Chain A
């Protein structure tokens, strides 16, 4: 493939990747920002979103669009409720102690993964996209009549992939509006700034924590429902999103939503582009190297608050 079309394909693939990664990482970042705890089971909530999407669509049957819309609403809701329950039953009782939370969420990771293996099974199952047409993309070349459009061999995307990008942007705007313009967003920001003072003002901090934990998981599940018609639902699919989300949150800055979004786009695009031109392994190596550099030279991340 010539370089121009090749780059365009790489950027499109990177955008799809970045879209899903943004949603997933945002969930992790929200949890860390407000609750100051690390959720190692975050990838499993992502996987649950995909598995539940398959379950909902196969239970409903009928046209793919109906099942998909139902999955888009119900799966994140169910995952959010499960996460909220996990927070209420487990994390609250260990007082959100950082080390204990890491251990507890590792345990949660294994429980969720193995229960899924025992019920859903070891195979991958597909979910039909609500719509999917191949879109051949044009490229330009300088011909005798000036700029001419032509359709290079293999340069294409699908309507569904474009939908994923749009859906991610819409969700991001929704989350931003929630955080910046609503009362609940105000409460969340207050709890993030100083949870003790927030409690003194009558904010039920523990319930807010359960809500935030649920919201974080629901965002990951939403990302998974969007990506599952492209990939398939498999019980081990949570491992890669977990790793990438952590990379994004560290590079973007713990607790900064803006940093998460910027870093997710950066990592998603570079992963996509390097994977297309070189190999996926090299892409992961470079992403991990970037994390190491950030931790050494700018530990608070790109947009994080500098430690006093």
Chain B
């Protein structure tokens, strides 16, 4: 005889399912700190979850979520929490434009943000202007400051390639050599390196003896290296895509013990462990770093705070998995851009979509960004006319398998004349 006072098996199972479903729901209490009944500010995050940018996308997403948590824990923006709405663009320009449409028309996002790969930025920015949606990119492409894009597109969190290579050229010419072979990926970002570094090194009395363009989808690289001229003094390499480790390994295999000086951009090894077998030849070579991956003797409290918030150890890898190396030289751009968005929204008294142009004007008015928890990469200067920020660059040497900073460039080293004034353009 069933005792009706005891719960039946069906009731227990239903109860467990309900508890399970409830715990799987998003935590709605997290907004309790930041104003109880305010609608969140929706930031559409255009992220490279798949495609050739996937390694960067994964770290961009972690950094974005960490920054959003810091912002929300401190009360959000204008008393409202921020909500990150992420959509995968597959590192594809066409899909990028579609994703922006989704943000504007389906999700009702206030702004779009977060794109890295330059061809996706170029493919998406015109759509952002058509949708009249502010588009904060974290891309390094010179396209924002060149005037190619529009007043809705801004890059306040990361420096651009033209500025980076201009800052590198004097050091390379005086420390490594004057005859350079450049190896770069064959798309917009790589063309920026090719064009602007050539200009910059020629201004230092140097010469680019060969320019080797490689598709970022390439999987095997030895076939390109015979084009390197015999009289090369410096190999300049920057590579992106899933096969960067293969690229660097084959470069080492090609030269063996008789390699010229090598100067790389750490893009060639972002998310790759320097201790991987085959990379021993990099010992003693130099790299550009956007932000030093390994903790340096003069680490600031801001870098410490930043690493702790995202969960990164002193080797630039995830604290949960030392093999999961981060894209440390780029992802700070996400963190700093979100804090810039916060500053802009607070200055503009942003209330909703009707204030989008006020937000852009408020960001255009930003100039100095001191080094802080919000800007851990270094002190920066934002140029409201060109929508591009300028900051320090780091030159590091591989010592004992770790990158140690040898030289930090000044902001002035990276300045170039304005090529556009977006503030004179209408919305």
Contact = CB atoms under 8 A, between A and B. Distances in A.
Contacts of A126: 245-246, 276
A275 interface: yes
B255 A154 contact: yes
A158 B55 CA distance: 28
A1 B218 contact: no
A179 interface: no
B411 interface: no
A280 B243 contact: no
A231 B246 contact: yes
A113 to B, nearest CB: 11
Interface of chain B: mostly helix, strand, loop or mixed: loop
A123 B54 contact: yes
Nearest to B230: A153
A132 B219 contact: no
Contacts of A198: none
Interface in B202-255: 215, 218-220, 222-223, 225-228, 230, 242-243, 245-246, 253-255
B53 to A, nearest CB: 9
Given A13-B222, A132-B278, A237-B219, A232 B246 contact: yes
B258 interface: yes
Nearest to A117: B50
B51 interface: yes
B256 interface: yes
Contact of A276 (B215, B226, B253, B258): B226
Contacts of B225: 154
Given A126-B246, A126-B276, A156-B254, A231 B230 contact: no
A154 B242 contact: no
Contacts of A154: 225-226, 228, 254-255
Contacts of B276: 126
Contacts, number: 69
Contacts of B55: 123
Interface in A247-305: 272, 275-276, 280
Contacts of B218: 280
B217 to A, nearest CB: 8
B154 to A, nearest CB: 28
Interface in A228-255: 230-232, 234, 237, 240
A122 B51 contact: yes
Contact of A122 (B50, B226, B230, B246): B50
A170 interface: no
Nearest to B258: A153
Interface residues of A, number: 29
Given A122-B51, A126-B276, A230 B220 contact: yes
B86 to A, nearest CB: 15
B49 interface: yes
Interface in A1-37: 1, 6, 9-10, 13
Contact of A6 (B226, B253, B254, B256): B226
Nearest to B249: A126
Contacts of A156: 253-254, 256
B243 A124 contact: yes
Contacts of A230: 220, 246
A294 B260 CA distance: 46
Interface residues of B, number: 30
A231 B222 contact: no
A136 interface: yes
Contacts of B243: 124, 231-232, 234
Nearest to A154: B254
Contacts of B271: 123
Nearest to A136: B256
A237 B51 CA distance: 12
B277 interface: yes
Contacts of A240: 219
Contacts of B49: 122
Contacts of B246: 124, 126, 230-232
A123 B226 contact: no
A134 B270 CA distance: 25
A112 interface: no
Contacts of B51: 122
Interface string B390-425: 000000000000000000000000000000000000
B242 A123 contact: yes
A82 interface: no
Contacts of A234: 219, 242-243
A134 B257 CA distance: 10
A1 B255 CA distance: 12
Given A158-B253, A231-B246, A275-B223, 11 more contacts: A1-B227, A10-B223, A122-B49, A123-B55, A123-B271, A134-B253, A136-B256, A153-B258, A234-B219, A234-B243, A237-B219
Interface of B: 49-51, 54-55, 58, 215, 218-220, 222-223, 225-228, 230, 242-243, 245-246, 253-256, 258, 271, 276-278
14 contacts: A1-B227, A1-B228, A10-B226, A117-B50, A122-B50, A123-B55, A123-B58, A124-B242, A156-B256, A231-B246, A240-B219, A272-B223, A275-B223, A280-B223
